[in-house]
Every structure is written in structure tokens, then in C-alpha cells.
Chains A and B, each alone.
Chain A
Amino acid sequence: MSLRRSFPLVVLVAFLALAAPWASRAQQQQQGAGGATDVWMNVTGGGTKKLNIAVPEFTIVSGTDSTGMGKLIASVTGGDLTFSGLFSVVAGTGAIPANNPALLEQSWREFAAAGAHAGLHGLLALRGDRLEGEMRLYDLVTPEHRLIATKKFELPNGQARRLAHKIADEVVLQFTGEQGIADTKIAYVLGPRGAKEITIADYDGAGPAPVTRNGSINLTPVWSPDARSLAYTSYKQGYPDLYRTFPFERRPDQTLAAFIGINTSPAFSPDGKSLALTLSKDGNPEIYVLTLATGTMRRLTRNAGIDTEPTWSPTGRQLAFISDRNGAPNVFVMDAEGTSVRQLTSGGFHTQPRWSPKGDSLVYTVRQSVHDLWIVNVDGSNPRRLTNGTGDSEGATWAPNGRHLAFQSNRTGRWQIFAMLVDGSAPEPITRGPGEATSPSWSPRLP
């Protein structure tokens, strides 16, 4: 199963429209005036304007590339750029020789003739325990194939894929004004019912590694805003309690909540200081906010029905949640003090709301004959379906840039994690290994 797909050639009109601001951006950057708000490409949806970028094999400038790292990194970076929905990758065979301006220029001429608008030349130095990478970004639209950006990265040896992701994120930054999301992880639940463990993998599904190994039932991992920890529900002590684990550190789990009843549905506040959660200790499932530094618990909902699945607005001033107080579960919104409650969606079996990182919309799951993902504006207007009823699609999680969603679907016959653009286009499988993968949580950009 390939994560990648083919793209049509971008029409000339599109690239001419892009060329001018792109050139001026490079000048701005040289003057140190490159603004983060400048947007040079359409980044709001599936879009039609794709930039053709040449990503030849990286050039080895030091050390011996016995494992084909130059090829791997170009492939991974190219995959990231394709995934972004902004680029169409033009690949070449063989690496451009080091320190040979004439051959470099000849390569760019050939790539430009093949339709490339930009060229990414990567240079790799393999120095024992260190991996040094440099990206050089060229404008192939200008006749002189001008160098528009360079950046160096240094990582421990063995992190070739991460280097590739960082370079891809930098390329996206150069063209859109916003860093890409390739240097992120996805946490999810792996395993059949009754034996579910938390796993994390790169955002593209590579390198899955177990986080829990307790042989119990572990559910709903959720990243903290610093991408250093996950909150999750586990039955490892017999009851559904909430824990926090630190997957990149040798550090024991913390118990966050272990009251009588359910301790579920963790959601870190955007500042990382609080955790919204669901407890039933006071009689039925209600939403609380735990202040992590002090352990103080504040109750937000008071209702005889089920209130659960809190999700914070990016400002931290509001929470959405689901409640069956008026019948079937629907999405509600309240402020962070639990007041000003309003019903956002109606009529449905609506669960799993997740507030978008930009704050303007919420994605949620609608159960009809199957489960599908829908999105609604924050004022409740324009609810629209994102998935098309092919199997069930549930449990969406936002990429940190708000352009992609990951979710679980059984459309291929078993539960796997998929990703798509926020307009519902380009769904692709993320997990490819054996077993049932559910309940994804997309990490913030890694520290």
C-alpha cells in the first residue's frame, strides 16, 4: 500500500501566478523581513495550485553512504511535500555531484524542462554519530535558477527520516510562510478489543513503537501541547483511570485521575497547564478541569445526562463537548468556567468534537447508517460531510497546521488510521502494519 499518489502537471498559468511573490519573498528574507503572515500559496484546502518541485537524491559531501541515505531522505522529503497537498514532486535518478556548479545547472535545466518550478538540492555529511544535512532551495522559474534559501540541520546519526521531515517543513515554510507538519507524530491505539496498547509512529506511519505494554485495555491517547507527554485512559489498575506517560523519557507514568467511576476523555488546555476530563464520581459523567500543577479539580457541567469528550478552543477560553441532555448526543459549547452553554449541532448522534487549531470550525463524528466525519463552523453554521460513507470514519484529530485530519476508518475491512486534507480530499492510509489501529492523536510539532 503506497502512501503516495500521482499528480497531474500543474498548468503554466498557476505557476506564473506564483512566481512573482515567491521571488520577492526571497528578497524579503535576505532583508530579514520575511513575515510569517505572508502566504504565497493556497493553503486552505485541497486546492488546485500545486508547485512542481524537483527533489533529486541528496548529495553526499562527507562520509560513505552505505545504506542509501541520500536516496531515502530525498524520497521521504518528497513524500512529505506531496502529502502537504501543496507540491507535486519531480524526481530524478542519481544524485547531483558535489561541488560541480556546471552539472548542478544542467540538472536544473533538465528539471525545469520537465516542468519543475523549484529545485531542492540536499547535501549530506555523514560524520560518525552525527548526520548533517543542508537544504538549498532554487527558483527554477528564473532564468538564472536563483538560490532562494538555505538551511542546515544537525541530528544524531540514525535520524535520517527526521532530517527529511525537518527539511520538508522548511521548504513548506519558505513557500507558505508557515512551517509544515512533517516533523510530528501520531499516537494511536493498536490491538483488538480487550487488548489495546498505545503506539506512536511518525506522522506518515513510519517507525511504530509501543508506548504501553501492560496487557490491559489502553484507550484514547492525547498529546500535551509540548509534544512531550500523552494522557490516556487505562484499565491497568483494574478500573478506567487516567494516566500521563512520557514516551521520549525514562520517566514513570503519572496517575492523573483515579476516582470511582470513569476517568476518561483527556484534553490538555492550549497552555498545557490544565486538563479537561470526564469523571462520573459525582453520579454521572460530567466534565471537569484538572489544574496539573496543584491537582485542583473544577467541575464544569451539572446535568443528569451524559456530558463527555471536552475539546478546547485554541484560545483556551471555551470548550466544546457532547451531551445527551436533549436526547441523542450533540455538540455543545461552553466557556472555560462552564457557563454560557449553547448547543452547536442538533438532530444527530454527534460525538468526538475536535476544535480546529485555527479556531474557526470543529470536526465531529455523525452516526447515521455508518459513522462519517463532518465539520461545522464555530457559530454552528454550514455543517458539511467530509467522508463519503465508505465504511465508518471516526475520531478525527487535527494536524497542527489545521490543513489535515487523521482519523480511524474500517473502509478496508479493518480499522486503520487515515489522513486527508481538511476539505475531505485525498484520504490515504497512515498505518500499514497488522492489527487494528484506532483513536489517533496528531502531535504538535516536535520540540
Chain B
Amino acid sequence: MLTRCSHLAFSLLLVAAVALSGCAKRPATTQAAAPAPTGAATSTAAAPAGGSQQMQSGEGTRGGTATPAPTTTARPAVQDFASVADLTDVFFDFDKYDIRPTDAKTLDANASWLKSNPNHLVLIEGHCDERGTNEYNLALGERRAKSTMNYLVSQGVQANRITIISYGEERPQCTEHTESCWAKNRRAHFLVKPR
């Protein structure tokens, strides 16, 4: 009658996790991004180090509840930006975020276009290849977008026209697991929208 149990039937998915039922929730966010306080001048550019950004603790707290204040700075809607053929991607070495000499020429051209089209805002996306871990790549993509932005600013593009966003390794443009593919993914990409 007794059997040594080597495999317990674990495929029975009966009544799984009723604790969860009824709470598969829609991602409702009531605390919508609060608008920047009036007078926050440059709404788009990442502030230079030193923290001129607003970060007033408690401001924006609703109804004195214990929930933390949504700490928000106004940013242009990502979906309003679109790629434009005149702005060319630049690429990075593995685990690097410095601008390579050949890419500096590309950025010079991009800077020229932006200066001749002063009514456009630009969104710089920073991307990584799939190697490395998720969180680090979000930070690395951020650094790539930032060094790209800094280069454009050094070439005379107004910082307040530029917004940056990191996608880390989440939006590869090439999905094979090869070096040539990874090299294409380590990039900064440009999108624009009219002011």
C-alpha cells in the first residue's frame, strides 16, 4: 500500500490563489502626475548637477494622507515624438557611454539640423544590448542618452529643447544574440516634435 513518493502531482491547478481573485486590477493611477509648479522654467531638460529641480517634500500630497507626494516634474508626452530621417542614431561600445569620434561627426550633423529647426523639441532614447542586468542597463541607457545630450548642448543646442529617456535593454532594434546585433542595440535614438 505504501509507495515512496518520488513525484507528487503538482499539476493540479485547482482553485489556485483565490487570494488573488477579484483583485486582478487595472492599473489605475489616481495620483496623476502633478503639473510642475508655475514658474518652473525649463520643463524638459534634465537639470545640471546641483539639483535645481523641484522636489518639495509633501507638496502635492492629497488630503493630508500618509501617501507619499507624487514627485513629478512636467515632461513632454513621449507619444508625441516621432522619428525623423534627418537625425541619425549614434552607437556605443559595450558597457560604455562616451561618444566615439565617428559618432561625434554624426552628432555634429544632428546638432546642425536641430539648430536649423529651432521649433522642434528632441527626445533622446538611450538603449543597451541584452547583456548585463536589467537595472544596470537602465542606468547605462540613461548615461548614454545623457552624454549624447551633453554633446548636442556643447554644439549649441539649447538644453531646454532636449528630453532624455532610458529604455535599458527593453527595446532592442535587433533581437539576435550576436555581437553585430548587440552593437546595433547599444544606441542613442532621436525623436522630435514641434514645440
Q: Which residues of A contact B (CB under 8 A)?
A: 2-7, 54-55, 67-69, 72, 75-76, 78-79, 82, 89-94, 110-111, 113-114, 156, 158-162, 193-194, 196, 200-202, 204, 206-214, 217, 219-220, 233-234, 236-240, 243, 245, 247-262, 264-265, 278, 280-285, 290-297, 306, 308-309, 322, 324, 328-329, 349, 351-352, 365, 367, 371, 394-395, 438-439, 446
Q: How far is the CB of A2 from chain B (nearest CB, A)?
A: 5
Interface status of B29 (Cβ within 8 A of chain A): yes
Q: Are A308 and B29 in contact (CB under 8 A)?
A: no
Partner of A278, one of B22, B24, B55, B139: B139
Known: A93-B3, A220-B134, A238-B75. 14 other contacts (CB 8 A): A76-B8, A90-B2, A93-B1, A208-B16, A237-B33, A265-B135, A265-B138, A283-B48, A284-B49, A284-B143, A308-B139, A328-B95, A367-B133, A395-B134
Residues of chain B within 8 A (CB-CB) of A94 are 1
Is A110 touching B1 in the complex (CB atoms < 8 A)?
yes
Contacts of A254 in B (CB 8 A): 31, 67-68, 70
Whether A91 touches B5, Cβ cut-off 8 Å, given contacts A160-B15, A254-B67, is yes
Does the CB pair B69–A295 fall under 8 Å? Answer: yes
Check A367 against B2 for contact (C-beta < 8 Å).
Answer: no
List chain B residues, Cβ under 8 A from A365. 133
Chosen A-B contacts, 15 in total, with CB atoms closer than 8 Å, are A68-B12, A76-B8, A156-B18, A211-B24, A211-B25, A219-B138, A237-B33, A239-B165, A248-B23, A253-B29, A258-B72, A259-B55, A261-B142, A308-B138, A352-B136
Specify which of A2, A89, A209, A233 is in contact with B17 (CB 8 Å cutoff): A209
**If the complex has contacts A78-B8, A294-B68, A297-B57, are A255 and B46 also in contact, measured as CB distance less than 8 A?**
no
Q: Is B194 at the interface (CB under 8 A from chain A)?
A: no
Given the contacts A250-B25, A253-B29, A92 and B131 also touching, CB distance less than 8 Å = no
Q: Is the CB of A78 within 8 A of B16?
A: no
8 Å CB interface, B1-57 against A: 1-10, 12-33, 44-51, 53, 55, 57
B contact residues around A217 at 8 Å (CB): 167, 170-171
Distance between B165 CB and nearest chain A CB, rounded to angstroms: 6
Q: How far is the CA of A5 from the CA of B13 in the complex (A)?
A: 19
- C-alpha gap A194/B175 in the complex (Å): 12
Can you list, as one digit per residue, whether each of B55-73 has a CB less than 8 Å from chain A (1) or not (0)? 1011011000011111111
Give the total number of A-B pairs whose CB atoms are below 8 A apart.
286
Count of chain B residues near A, Cβ 8 A:
82
Interface of B is mostly: loop
Q: Contact between B10 and A351 (Cβ–Cβ < 8 Å)?
A: no
B14 to chain A, nearest CB (A): 6
Evaluate contact between B3 and A92: CB separation under 8 angstroms.
yes
User: Considering only CB atoms, which chain A residue lies closest to B53 in the complex?
Assistant: A281
Are A161 and B17 also in contact (CB < 8 A) when A114-B4, A295-B69 are?
A: yes
Partner of B28, one of A2, A252, A309: A252
Return chain B residues, CB-CB under 8 Å to A352. Answer: 133, 135-136
User: In the complex the two chains form, what is the Cα distance from A236 to B28 in whole Å?
Assistant: 10
Which residues from chain A contact B172 at a C-beta distance below 8 Å? 193
Q: How far is the CB of A216 from chain B (nearest CB, A)?
A: 8
Question: Given known contacts A4-B8, A285-B139, is B71 in contact with A297 (CB within 8 Å)?
Answer: yes
The listed residue with most B CB atoms (<10 A of its CB), out of A283, A295, A446, is A295
> Is the beta-carbon distance between B33 and A255 smaller than 8 angstroms?
yes
Contact present for A262 and B142 (CB under 8 Å): yes
Q: Is the CB of A295 within 8 A of B58?
A: yes
